Amino acid sequence: MPDTSKAATLYAPSRRVVLGLALALAAPALIGRHALADGLVDPFTLGVASGDPAPDGFVIWTRLAPQPLAEDGGGGLSADAPVTFEVAEDPGFRTVVRRGRARASAALGHSVHVEVAGLKPGRPYWYRFAAMGAQSAVGTARTAPAAGAAVDHLRFAFASCSHWELGWFSAYRHMAAENPDLVLFLGDYIYEYSYKSERDAARLVRRHDRREEIIDLAGYRNRYALYRTDPDLQALHACAPCLVTWDDHEVQNDYANRWSQDVATPEAAFLKRRRAAYQAFYEHMPVRRWSRPTPEETRVYGRFGYGALADFTVLDGRQYRSIQPCARPDSRKGWVAPASCTDRVEPARTMLGARQEAWLYDGFGRAKAQWNIIAQDLLVADIKQRDRDGALGHWTDGWDGYPANRKRMLDALAQSKARNPVFLGGDIHSFWTTDLKADFNNPGSATIATEFVGAAVTQDGPPANAFTSVMQDNPHVKFYNGVTNGYVSVDLTPRRMDTRLVAISDRRDKAATASTLKAYVVEDGRPGAVEA
């Protein structure tokens, strides 16, 4: 369910949007996007998207960008532009239930976020936009079931870590083909850096238009725009609403809160860069007004309900965290810190920040759904790995850099009696199935929650043997695979959660196939995945 403190803004139509003015609108001539008359340009090069589904509506999104990679980041437009939208109960738009006007403002990169409300729960709708004499592609979105309603089945899929240059987005194409009700993007949706060396160039399938690391608003806007020109990603966004959080590469590798990974970058300079990145994120994602950047924060964490069946809690693991422990003098990049790094286990350290932690634990205490899905960016389980000297240590940039917060989170879950908690994550470019334990040093301790982490859409896996050589030190890991790309697909019913780890045959093959690498069942009332 939506966070109640935000309910007023969640359900209020955006002030920029005038709803229900069908008769007053002089509708522009609607021209199919592939049949533009002479002299007209297609402003819908980035497709359409929907997100944040509620029982009575969702966000529909587009961005006008006749020249998506225009150097100034403006998409080929300068002035604000009017846009109209329609939401219908059928794909042919015979029964249009909402119709209105929005403004694509230059200040927000000519993006349009319409919070559609007043719809019926638990059913599909079709939507489209028109502007500049052209019409967008048609998108489909499903409203969430009514709060507390019985739900037989929900299908969702999640993905992370899609570097444009390293491969085709076949994972996204196969996700769309599964016809999910909901899609989760768990971070590294874009990458801020490009590959430059000769050695790397030989293995790339395509190039970023900008090779320098992006650091300003025009750069981040163009990076999202480039990724959104991909037909597989457009198809995925058009087929289902999404929930989205970010990881580091939406801003910069391994950043934490206001700290760049580069020790020489002052906090003020990094915060300026982060603000530009967060703004471009907002402009390109189908998120609600409460995610609009303010000088204080850009809020992406939230709660979304699917009737009595499931609650999704989406977390932000980057914006509010403590600085990584035991940073080396020359770089704040994550590394495997040895046991002598006592900073790591400091109780005051937080991954989520005090406010998000309090909000999360309060939500656990009030959880009523059958399944409590926590969607976030990182592997949660404690993983002992070998440092350069061969000693066992922990990676400082993930949850292993913040074990006190992890313990508070799992303790809060255990005490809350929230049913069937399942964590989903990304970032580590590999598939993981783990048991999240009350005490990771005691294999006999209770399993508090189940965890699934998805492989990267295109990114490289971890170095060979980085984890396979330490599996005996991590008995709560049930499965690990770091040599394939892919995504995770879930079928949820009141009795069980069926999870498939889906492998993509070859990221370099535009027509790559998908196959189930492993399948797991989580049964209602029994934490921990069992191989199907």
Q: Which residues bind Ca ion (CB under 5 A)?
A: 188, 247-248, 427
Minimum gap (Å) between residue 253 Cβ and Fe ion = 9
Task: In angstroms, give the least distance from the CB of 429 to Fe ion.
Answer: 6
Calpha distance 341→327 (Å, rounded) = 10
Instruction: Decide whether 448 or 455 has the Cβ nearer to Ca ion.
Output: 455
Find which of Ca ion, Fe ion, none residue 316 binds, CB within 5 to 8 Å per kind: none
Q: Report the b/e string of 197-230 with b at 16+ CB within 10 A.
A: eeeeeeebeeebeeeeebbebbbbbbbbbbbbeb
Cα(253)–Cα(485) distance, integer angstroms: 20
163-189: buried (b, 16+ CB within 10 Å) or exposed (e) per residue?
bbbbbbbbbbbbbbebebbbbbbbbbb
Instruction: Note whether 188 binds Fe ion by CB under 5 A.
Output: yes
Q: Which stretch binds Fe ion (CB under 5 A): 129-137, 138-146, 158-166, 466-474?
A: 158-166
Residue among 188 and 283 whose Cβ is closer to Fe ion: 188
| CB closer to Ca ion out of 165 and 247 | 247
Letters for 257-286 (x = contact with Fe ion by CB under 5 A, - = none) are: ------------------------------
Q: Which is nearer to Fe ion, 356 or 459 (CB)?
A: 459
Instruction: Name the minimum Å distance from CB 227 to Ca ion.
Output: 16
Angle made by CA atoms 81, 234, 456, in degrees to the nearest 5: 130
Q: Which does 248 bind (CB under 5 to 8 A by kind): Fe ion, Ca ion, none?
A: Ca ion
192 contact, one of Fe ion, Ca ion, none, CB 5-8 Å limit per kind: none
Nearest to 132 by CA among 88, 91, 94, 77: 77
By C-beta, is 100 or 398 nearer to Fe ion?
398
Q: Is 86 in the site for Fe ion (CB under 5 A)?
A: no
Pairing of strands 111-116, 154-159: unpaired
172 contact partners, CB below 8 Å, separation of at least 6: 159, 162, 230, 232, 233, 235, 236, 457, 487
The token duo for 313 is 């809690």
Which amino acid appears at position 160 of this protein?
S
250: partner contacted, choices Fe ion, Ca ion, none (Cβ within 5-8 A by kind): none
- State the minimum distance, in angstroms, from the CB of residue 387 to Fe ion: 21
Write the DSSP symbol of residue 265: S
251 binds Fe ion (CB under 5 A): no
Tell me which amino acid residue 156 is: F
Residue 361, judged by CB atoms within 10 A of its CB (0-12, 13-18, 19+), counts as middle
* 165 near Fe ion, judged by CB under 5 A: no
- Least Å distance between CB 175 and Fe ion? 17
Least distance in angstroms from the C-beta of 485 to Fe ion: 12
Interface residues with Fe ion (CB under 5 A)? Answer: 161, 188
